[in-house]
Structure 1
Amino acid sequence: MSKKLIRIKVVMDRTGLARSTIYKYISQGGFPKPTKLGTRAVAWLESEIEDWIQDTVDRRDEEVT
């Protein structure tokens, strides 16, 4: 598993989600929580974001069949 941290802009690019949507999904428990880097900086584990994307695709594929 990758231990690389990625910032919000990369998360937005990878998922196609807006910042507000990401934080809404976090508050609803449907998106990985960020890791605090400092008082005003957070980042996500790249592997958790990739897993979330794969889970989203898997759910889509299950709905089709």
Structure 2
Amino acid sequence: MSGGEDQARQRWLLLTLARIVPALGAAFGIVLIGRATEWPQKLLGLGIVLSALLVLATLPRALARRWKSR
């Protein structure tokens, strides 16, 4: 494969991971909220969910904008 195809494949993989990993983090936070018995643990789960959703909403778009060819 050429250098351009390798770079495109790596960028596609990174964009895919930038979507999957925060989604898994949000799912983990939801499980933590559901299983927690104390309020601090529930707040930690809520913080994980909110931060994962923020990353999910911003990171892939930021990476795509950074890599966009002119």
- Report if TM-score (shorter chain) is over 0.5: no
Using CA pairs under 8 Å that are at least 6 residues apart, name the structure with larger relative contact order, 1 or 2: 1
Larger radius of gyration: 2
Q: TM-score, normalised by structure 2?
A: 0.31
TM-score, length-scaled by structure 1: 0.34
Greater share of strand residues, 1 or 2?
1
